[in-house]
C-alpha cells in the first residue's frame, strides 16, 4: 500500500506539470485530492492494515496529501506569474520612444499689437489704466453725456446684464473712472480693454474687440496736442511716412469731435479696395473732452481741458499685417495664429 501511495504521488505530480490553466487545476484537484479523487480512498484504506503498520502508513499518507496540496499551490502561483509575464509582454510600452514635442507657444497677435501700442504711448508719457469690462449704465453712457433715451446711444448696440449693468460698449467709461481717481492731478493715460457690442459678425466687425482709449487732462491742452499725439502714434505704428488728416465728427463726450484718418498704407493714397478708393483710412474717433464730462470726472472745465481718442486694436493690426477678416483673430486657427 505504501507503494501504491508512492505511485499515486508520482503520477499526480507528473500530471500537475502538464496543467496549464485554472480549469486544468480544478480537474487535477478533483482527480487526486477531491472527495471522489484517488487519495481519499487510500487514506481510508488504513483501516485494512494490521494495527502496527497503520501509524507509519497514516503518516506517509498525510505527507503525500500535504505535499500534493503544496505542489498545487505552487503550480497555481507559477501559472499566475506566467500570466502576468504574458500580459506585460503583450502590453509592453517602449518608454524609450521619443515623446511628442510641446511647442513653446507665443503671444497672440492682439497681445503683441497691444504691447506695441503701450510702448509707443509709454514713450509719450501715457501710463496704462485698467477699468472693468462690466460697467454701469451710468459710466458707459450717462456720465459720458448720454442721459437715458439720448439718441446717440443708438451708436452702440449693447449687451445688457440688468437694467443697470452692461458689458461696456467702448473703453470711454474708463475716462470717468480715471478722472475720479486722479482728480485734481493732471492725467495722461491709455485705457486698453475689450469692448462688447450686440452686432452682426462680419469680416469687419466682431461682437468682442479691443480698444485703446487715450485721455489727457491738464491746463492749456489743445486740439494741436491731440492731432500731434495721434500723428506721432500713426507714424510710429504704421511707418514714418504716414500722413494724417482730420475731419469733423460727432461724439457726445467730446466737443469738438473729430475723426482721424491716415493715408492708406497699401496704396499710399492712390486709392484701392482696402481704402474704398478714397486714399484714406480711418484710425480713430477723438476730440476735446466735453466740459460736462470733465465736470463729471471732478475737473472744473473753466480751468482744465483735455483730449481723448479711441482707436481699435484689431483693425490697426489688420491694416498693418494685411489681414482681411477680423473673425480670424478669435477663431483659434493655429494656421493663422502661427503667422504672427
Residue 309 within binding range of ligand DAH, rule CB under 6 A? yes
Per rule CB under 6 A, is residue 308 in the interface with ligand DAH?
Answer: yes
The verdict on 316 binding ligand DAH (CB under 6 A) reads: no
d(CA 334, CA 105): 10
Contact 242, 225 (CB under 8 A): no
The secondary structure of 61-121 as a DSSP string is HHHHHHHHHHHHHHHHHHHHHHHHHHHHHHT---TTS--PPPP-----HHHHHHHHHHHHH
Strand, helix or coil for residue 207? coil
Site string for ligand DAH, 189-218 (x = CB under 6 A): ------------------------x-----
Q: Does 167 bind ligand DAH (CB under 6 A)?
A: no
Residues in contact with ligand DAH, counted by CB under 6 A, come to a total of 11
Examine residue 146 and tell whether it contacts ligand DAH (CB under 6 A).
no
Nearer to ligand DAH, 28 or 309 (CB): 309
> Which of 32, 307 has the CB closer to ligand DAH?
307
Binding mask 236-275 for ligand DAH (x = CB under 6 A): ---------------x--x---------------------
**310 is a contact residue toward ligand DAH (CB under 6 A):** yes
Residues in the chain: 340
Comparison of 8 and 289: residue with beta carbon closer to ligand DAH: 289
Other beta carbons within 10 angstroms of residue 41's beta carbon come to 9
H/E element holding 8? helix 2-18
In angstroms, the CA 140 to CA 172 distance is: 7
Residue nearest to ligand DAH (CB): 310
Strand-pair partners of 57: none
173 touching ligand DAH, by CB under 6 A: no
CA distance 317 to 171: 18
Give the nearest distance from C-beta 308 to ligand DAH in angstroms. Answer: 3
Q: Is the Cβ of residue 32 or residue 309 nearer to ligand DAH in the bound state?
A: 309
CB 118 within 8 A of CB 128: yes
Q: Which residues bind ligand DAH (CB under 6 A)?
A: 170, 172, 213, 251, 254, 285-287, 308-310
Amino acid at each position: 500500500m505504501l507503494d501504491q501511495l508512492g505511485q499515486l504521488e508520482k503520477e499526480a505530480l507528473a500530471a500537475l506539470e502538464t496543467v496549464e490553466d485554472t480549469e486544468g487545476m480544478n480537474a487535477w484537484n478533483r482527480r487526486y485530492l477531491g472527495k471522489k479523487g484517488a487519495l481519499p480512498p487510500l487514506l481510508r484504506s488504513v483501516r485494512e492494515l494490521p494495527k502496527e503498520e497503520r501509524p507509519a502508513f497514516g503518516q506517509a499518507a498525510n505527507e503525500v496529501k500535504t505535499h500534493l496540496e503544496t505542489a498545487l499551490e505552487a503550480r497555481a502561483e507559477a501559472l499566475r506569474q506566467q500570466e502576468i509575464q504574458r500580459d506585460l509582454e503583450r502590453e509592453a510600452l517602449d518608454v524609450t520612444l521619443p515623446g511628442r514635442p510641446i511647442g513653446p507657444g507665443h503671444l497672440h497677435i492682439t497681445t503683441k499689437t497691444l504691447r506695441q501700442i503701450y510702448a509707443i504711448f509709454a514713450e509719450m508719457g501715457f501710463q496704462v489704466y485698467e477699468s472693468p469690462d462690466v460697467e454701469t449704465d451710468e459710466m458707459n453712457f450717462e456720465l459720458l453725456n448720454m442721459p437715458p433715451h439720448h439718441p446717440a446711444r443708438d451708436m452702440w448696440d449693447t449687451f445688457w446684464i440688468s437694467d443697470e449693468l452692461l458689458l461696456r460698449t467702448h473703453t470711454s467709461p474708463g475716462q470717468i473712472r480715471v478722472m475720479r481717481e486722479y482728480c485734481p492731478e493732471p492725467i495722461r493715460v491709455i485705457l486698453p480693454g475689450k469692448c462688447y457690442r450686440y452686432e452682426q459678425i462680419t469680416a469687419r466687425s466682431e461682437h468682442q474687440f479691443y480698444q485703446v482709449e487715450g485721455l489727457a487732462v491738464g491746463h492749456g491742452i489743445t486740439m494741436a496736442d491731440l492731432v500731434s499725439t495721434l500723428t506721432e502714434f500713426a507714424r510710429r505704428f504704421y511707418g514714418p511716412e504716414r500722413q494724417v488728416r482730420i475731419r469733423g465728427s460727432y461724439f457726445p463726450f467730446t466737443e469738438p469731435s473729430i475723426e482721424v484718418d491716415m493715408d492708406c498704407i497699401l496704396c499710399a493714397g492712390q486709392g484701392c479696395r482696402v481704402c474704398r478708393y478714397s486714399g484714406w483710412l480711418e484710425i480713430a474717433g477723438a476730440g476735446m473732452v466735453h466740459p460736462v464730462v470733465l465736470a463729471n470726472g471732478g475737473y472744473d472745465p473753466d480751468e482744465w481741458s483735455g483730449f481723448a481718442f479711441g482707436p481699435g486694436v484689431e483693425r490697426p493690426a489688420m491694416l498693418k499685417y494685411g489681414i482681411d477678416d477680423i473673425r480670424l483673430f478669435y477663431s483659434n486657427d493655429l494656421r493663422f495664429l502661427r503667422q504672427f
